[in-house]
Chain A
Amino acid sequence: MAHLRETSDKALKLLRTLPRVQIGNLRPNPNSKQNDKRGRAQHGGDKHGAGNKGSGQRQNFMRLGYETGNQPFYMRFPYEPYYKGHHMKRQYPPISLLQLQVLIDTNRIDVSQPVDISTLCNSGLLNLKPAEMEYGFQLTDEGLDNFKAKINIEVQHANEAVIAAIERNGGVIRTAYYDPRSLHMLSNAKKWFEKGVPIPNRMMPPQDALDYYTDAKNRGYLANPEEISKDRLVLAQKYGYQLPRIEDDPSFAMLSAAKDPRQVFYGLEPGWLINVVDKTIVRRKK
């Protein structure tokens, strides 16, 4: 290891010649503490920096939007329900293909296993808040040209270009719906296992999401697999690349791994109870 004359080395060397650092001789950095008192005497007690007279000095500002008697701007126009039901809308926080590639390059996610929400959340860099109506990740097309990983990924929303970018590299992409409870389990699986509750079923998508997830163009998890394989070819022709044959791939087992529509975790069936401490799995006797 190269020995550089580092600043901390210099500081520690200097400390050897100084008196012992003790509770009694510590003080905060100069000017780091703000004095929150205001002056009361002749000049310090003048206006305390609040200006002269009026709402500025007395801090009695008009309420927001009030126009001193005019019909306020926000009331001038008839009602338009722009935000009707916005609190019910599903949100899909974006991750880009560039971010995904960085995660792969820095060994934060393992592409030798199928990637889903829990893999992304376990990287420690991405976070999902199901309580704030976040229903999973959408994969966006930033860094699409530099994406080179062969990956089996499951996201909640993806557009055509992204699907093409993944499939061009011999990968597999699937869009799947998770209900908030399943998302909560996936976003921190370890913590959820510690509750000691059997794994529940994953719910089916609501009515307005059904079209999206049954469409082969979106690689929906409820779409007909034959239509998907047909659409893979169509997309390859549209974007002009040779579709790699995943059937001949050495990692075919990984690439073809998929969850059941009622399954939350890969390989773990609903009803199983995971004990992380004893490293055992328990199920109901048949």
Chain B
Amino acid sequence: MLKNILGKSRQVWTPLARGLSKTSTQSNVAAESVVTASTTKPATLILPQDYAECAPLNRNATRQAWIENTDAVAERKVGLIELHPDVFAAQPRVDVIQENVEWQRKYRYVSMANTKTRAEVRGGGRKPWPQKGMGRARHGSIRSPLFKGGGVVHGPRSPTTHFYMLPFYKRVMGLTSTLSVKLAQDDLHIIENVDIPTKDAQFIKDIIAERNWGLSVLIVDKDFMFPENICYATDELGYVNLMPAFGLNVYSMLKHDTLVLTVDAVKHLEQRLLYQLHRNDATSKGGKFKLDQV
């Protein structure tokens, strides 16, 4: 049956096996056993992209990716999804990714480093010695910055916020670039859903080992309510995290080695990002960020 799918997909789609070479031999073997085990398999998912909605600005070849199963440890291709090139094959602007990471670090950072000025250091109100007649340099306070133990001039004052906003379309470009980089480096996997059969963390560990997912995994679904099983299974594992699609951000994607998206999440992300790239009131996003803007 799998061979059937492969054969069919070759006819339907131009054979652009970008993300497939890595595990193709491995997965074939694994899939055979699953096929024999379960006879009532659901129909294959073949999800083409609807370019009538949003024509790609990008003349890249379209990206296709396998949809993997989550009901067993062994890998089985349950379908094929076509990804929009404006989102998943955008120019990999690593510099914009870096700017996004820096922004995500800084906008929430408040420096609490603080030094005392000469007014705040205890004492030093009295003139230490008379102005004249002592043969010593004139001084008005023992807490002057010239003195040991005196105040500090131009030292750090707390709290200092480092808040700023990155321009809106740089944030959008950061997301598309990171998704494109992740797909190009085989660090992006697409699963049919997050319904795993057990609450056991070992299942997740096995899946990661079996499918050669990286050390740390970020699993993204469209909804913020994840099924019970996957919540229990990933709860103990610090390196496997769950995230709803609306929370997806550049920093988290890069913090985790592997990004695992559900089909729903992919569709949702494509829809949202393409909306941002084509929105009618894009000029309203171009202005300076104001704190009181809604």
Contacts and interface: CB of A to CB of B under 8 A. Distances in A.
Interface of A: 1-4, 6-9, 11-13, 15-16, 18, 20-23, 26-29, 32, 122-125, 127
A11 B91 CA distance: 7
A22 B251 CA distance: 9
Given A3-B59, A23-B255, A124-B280, A9 B97 contact: no
A9 B94 contact: no
B283 interface: yes
Interface in B230-270: 251, 254-255, 257
B98 A8 contact: no
Contacts of A3: 59-61
Contact of A12 (B56, B92, B99): B92
B283 A15 contact: no
Given A8-B91, A11-B92, A12-B89, A26 B59 contact: no
Nearest to B100: A26
Interface string B160-199: 0000000000000000001011001111000000000000
Contact of A6 (B59, B95, B99, B280): B59
B256 to A, nearest CB: 10
A3 B283 CA distance: 31
A13 to B, nearest CB: 8
Contacts of B274: none
A8 B92 contact: yes
B95 A8 contact: no
Nearest to B90: A8
A124 B282 contact: yes
B101 interface: yes
Contacts of A29: 95
Contact of A9 (B89, B99, B186): B89
A122 B284 CA distance: 12
Contacts of A23: 101, 251, 254-255
5 contacts: A6-B59, A8-B60, A12-B181, A22-B254, A26-B94
B286 to A, nearest CB: 11
A255 to B, nearest CB: 27
Given A6-B58, A21-B254, A124-B281, A12 B98 contact: no
B163 to A, nearest CB: 18
Contacts of B181: 12, 15, 21
B91 A28 contact: no
Contacts of A28: 95, 98-99, 102
A8 B86 CA distance: 11
A83 B210 CA distance: 78
Given A22-B254, A124-B281, A124-B283, A7 B91 contact: yes
A21 B185 CA distance: 8
B251 to A, nearest CB: 7
B101 A8 contact: no
Contacts of B187: 20
A6 B185 contact: no
B282 A21 contact: no
Given A6-B59, A6-B60, A23-B254, A12 B184 contact: yes
A28 B249 CA distance: 19
Contacts of A4: 59
A2 B181 CA distance: 23
A3 B214 CA distance: 32
Contact of A21 (B58, B97, B186): B97
Interface in B75-110: 89-92, 94-95, 97-99, 101-102
Which 3 residue pairs across A and B have the least CB separation, nearest first? A8-B91, A12-B184, A124-B280
B185 A8 contact: no
Given A8-B60, A15-B185, 10 more contacts: A4-B59, A8-B90, A9-B89, A11-B91, A12-B89, A12-B180, A22-B254, A23-B251, A28-B99, A124-B280
A20 B89 contact: no
A6 to B, nearest CB: 5
A130 to B, nearest CB: 16
B94 A21 contact: yes
Contacts of B102: 28
Nearest to A29: B95
Nearest to A16: B184
Contacts of A26: 94, 97-98, 101, 254
B55 to A, nearest CB: 9
Contacts of B283: 124-125, 127
A125 to B, nearest CB: 7
Contacts of A12: 89, 92, 180-181, 184
A12 B93 CA distance: 10
Contacts of A127: 283
Nearest to B186: A16
Contacts of B62: 1
A2 B59 contact: yes
A191 to B, nearest CB: 10
B282 A8 contact: no
A5 to B, nearest CB: 10
B61 A9 contact: yes
Nearest to A32: B95
Contacts of B90: 8
Contacts of B99: 28
